[in-house]
Structure 1
Amino acid sequence: MKKVVLAYSGGLDTSVIVPWLRENYGCEVICFCADLGQAEELEGLEAKALASGASKLIVHDMREEFIRDYILPTLQAGAIYERKYLLGTSFARPIIAKHQVEVAEAEGADAVAHGATGKGNDQVRFELTYFALNPRLKIIAPWREWTIKSRQDALDYAAEYNVPVTATAEKIYSRDRNLWHLSHEGGVLEDPWHGPEEDMYQLSTSPQQAPDLPEALTVSFEQGVPTMVNGQRVGLVELVELLNSIGGKHAIGRVDLVENRLVGMKSRGVYETPAGTILYTAHRELESIVLDKETLRAKDRIALDYADLVYNGRWFTPVREAYDAFVATTQRTMTGDVCMQLYKGNLIIVGRRSPFSLYNEDLATFGPDAVYDQRDAEAFIKLYGLSMKVQALMKK
């Protein structure tokens, strides 16, 4: 191989992969970084990549595409992995791998490489995307080849090859950050009985330190797409950033989860997803007045499978496209507003409204009405319970 495109974050693992690839494969290494909203993590990245031995660094700003084509379809599907996880890392990997393949094709590279370990889910997510988009590319996964087995080994390797890294043995957490969330793994979190340390959190304040007064918040949707916050229209990137700021201030979106990895083991992760938690809650509340019972139940069944396919790295598959087609039809009337209060980690729903609401006050009222004749219920109950009545008679 002459040229490899590495999915590069500038962290410890991908930094040491650059000289390792050159030493073991004798190839040119091009670093590719996806800007998904890592904020300050992108500062000084080019100098670091070049100092590590890369021939160049290519950065793609993919924030808008990330929200529009990956986050929103998952949100609209209502997909949540194992009741808690809003899939912030899971759907980030296929968009990174997609652009990495495009860079490899444009640069005439022979191979692609990633820094995912042989124990995790990310190796599957990266490599299934490579298979789907360009199966001719050679895949290099250093964690499945090299002799580095620990964080200290990686630090020693970096020191030996003069690779500039900011990681130290004391920085114990493995983190992944983008516009949608911040994940934490490793360190004391490897003991599921050990609670997270407060100084670990970066996007959200603790409930104890959150404001003592609730804050009102209204999120507006147009055909399932969030478009306004408190009546002000903002773009998708700005909207997520704004909700992260507001939600984080009120301790919204903290999740502590022991999850089942695709490779068969359990792992413990702590996630901060303020904007995601607000949007999932608001979207679900709007669905409650807009969608009929059968459609809502069908969506709930799809949501479970959708979450699994995203988590398991099967984004570029026909079944995901088929699910998206169904979900898209359910979003045609998903226009309206949801009002809530944010208070010390709680999202309290105040109201929801839509021009397509199926809620009829004339039917729901406990007062006198001219639409619903309560006497009709007697015949309905007799027919609805007929099978139960027959079973009881047979037992007699």
Structure 2
Amino acid sequence: MTTILKSLPQGQNVGIAFSGGLDTSAALLWMKQKGARVFAYTANLGQPDETDYDEIPRKAMEFGAEKARLVDCRAQLVHEGIAAIQAGAFHVSTGGIAYFNTTPLGRAVTGTMLVSAMKEDGVNIWGDGSTYKGNDIERFYRYGLLTNPDLKIYKPWLDDQFIHELGGRSEMSAFMTAHGFAYKMSAEKAYSTDSNILGATHEAKDLEDLNTGIQIVNPIMGVPFWRDDCVAKAERVVVRFVEGQPVALNGQTFA
């Protein structure tokens, strides 16, 4: 059985991990126009830079999704984060610098929970906006199969026709505008940011240059401790544990 599909399965249900950004918006609209029945799934990971989660499924429906769901992944992500801390696996060290596993943990939870939601809706083909350049395409593929062994994978960025027609951000923006969805591209940043309730990581682009350091980053969580004008005030934090599990923070109990 072919697991990875190189062309769009027309007339079939295809799920897409939908962020609401340009890549997944263009992919959803393109797949709809090419004859797929597209179902959109958005993971709520507690991202601090996401201001309106409910707006994302609404956008997916505007772009032609058959159904759009917001999947609350926060409790599971917190559980996985605590387990990683207990196992001493919350961060890895590269060149003496700690890289927190917040993003990889988020990918594991996203992959399993979105595919589980798709399975509930009778969707056994999954696509997302990850390209062939990074780890995400492999992460989502493997986590998805763990949840649904019958899952097939369709990724627009592995489809030659999609790449030929919409191979860059300018082409995707023009495509959306041409079909009545004005989509202004955001300014290109010097690095990428991935965030969730556990933390934020910054990577890629200019940060891949060995001559470029963390000094170019404007963190969305934490403080820029490398700047001379940075002031980090001490804060007293009280955590209550029950049988090894944190259950309260500064007197406030969490389920």
Q: TM over 0.5: same fold?
A: yes
Q: 1:133 to 1:206 in 2, by over 3 A?
A: closer
Alignment of 1:195-234 (within 5 A): 195-196=213-214, 200-207=218-225, 208-211=228-231, 214-230=234-250, 232-234=251-253
Is the 8 Å Cα contact of residues 202 and 217 (structure 2) preserved in structure 1? no
| Aligned equivalent of 2:5 | none
| Contact 2:40-2:60 at 8 Å conserved across structures | yes
After TM superposition, give the deviation of residue 85 of structure 1 in Å.
2.0
Amino acid at match of 1:47: R
Identify the residue that residue 73 of structure 1 maps to in structure 2. 83
Aligned to 1:180, which of 191, 198, 208?
198
Change (3 A) 1:113 1:90: same
Q: CA deviation at 1:128?
A: 0.7
Matches of 2:204 and 2:181, distance apart in 1: 23
- Distance across 2 between alignment mates of 1:101 and 1:74: 22
Q: Do residues 155 (structure 1) and 173 (structure 2) align?
A: yes
Equivalent positions of 1:350-365 (< 5 A) are none
Q: How many Å separate the matches in 1 of 2:183 and 2:146?
A: 33
Secondary structure of 1:216's counterpart equals coil
Deviations 1:107-138 (A, max 9, x none): 22241111111111111111112222223222
Letter in 1 for 2:82: L
Q: CA deviation at 1:179?
A: 0.4
Following superposition, the deviation at residue 72 of structure 1 comes to 1.5
AA of the residue aligned to 1:28: R
2-structure distance, mates of 1:52, 1:197: 39
Q: 1:177 to 1:212 in 2, by over 3 A?
A: closer
The count of corresponding residues between Structure 1 and Structure 2 is 233
User: How far apart in 2 are the matches of 1:210 and 1:220?
Assistant: 30
In 1, Cα distance between equivalents of 2:194 and 2:232: 31
The verdict on how the C-alpha distance between 1:213 and 1:57 changes in structure 2, with shifts beyond 3 A counting, is: closer
Once the two structures are superposed, residues 138-173 of structure 1 have per-residue CA deviations (whole angstroms, 9 ceiling, x without a partner) of 211111223144433433333334445464244454
1:35 Cα offset (Å): 0.8
Question: Which residue number corresponds to residue 116 of structure 1?
Answer: 130
**Unmatched 5+ residue regions in structure 2?**
1-8
User: Aligned equivalents of 2:144 and 2:46: distance in 1?
Assistant: 23
Aligned partners of 1:5, 1:95: CA distance in 2, in Å? 16
Q: How far apart in 2 are the matches of 1:163 and 1:189?
A: 33
Structure 1 equivalent of residue 158 of structure 2: 144
Query: CA contact under 8 A between 2:193 and 2:201: conserved in structure 1?
Result: yes
Name the CA distance, whole Å, in 2 between partners of 1:212 and 1:36: 26
Which of 63, 73, 79 is the equivalent residue of 2:74?
63
Change in CA separation of 1:163 and 1:90 when aligned onto 2, cut-off 3 Å:
farther
Structure having the higher helix fraction is 1
Q: Is the 8 A contact 1:4 1:110 kept in 2?
A: yes
Identity level (%): 29
Deviations 1:276-309 (A, max 9, x none): xxxxxxxxxxxxxxxxxxxxxxxxxxxxxxxxxx
The one-letter amino acid paired with 1:180 is: L
Superposed displacement of residue 197, structure 1: 5.3
TM-score for the superposition, normalised by structure 1: 0.53
Which sections of structure 1, spanning at least 5 residues, go unmatched?
237-396
RMSD over aligned Cα atoms = 2.6
TM-score normalised by structure 2 residue count: 0.79
Q: For each residue in 1:223-282, what CA deviation from the matched residue of structure 2 results, as whole angstroms up to 9, or x when unmatched?
A: 33223334x14316xxxxxxxxxxxxxxxxxxxxxxxxxxxxxxxxxxxxxxxxxxxxxx
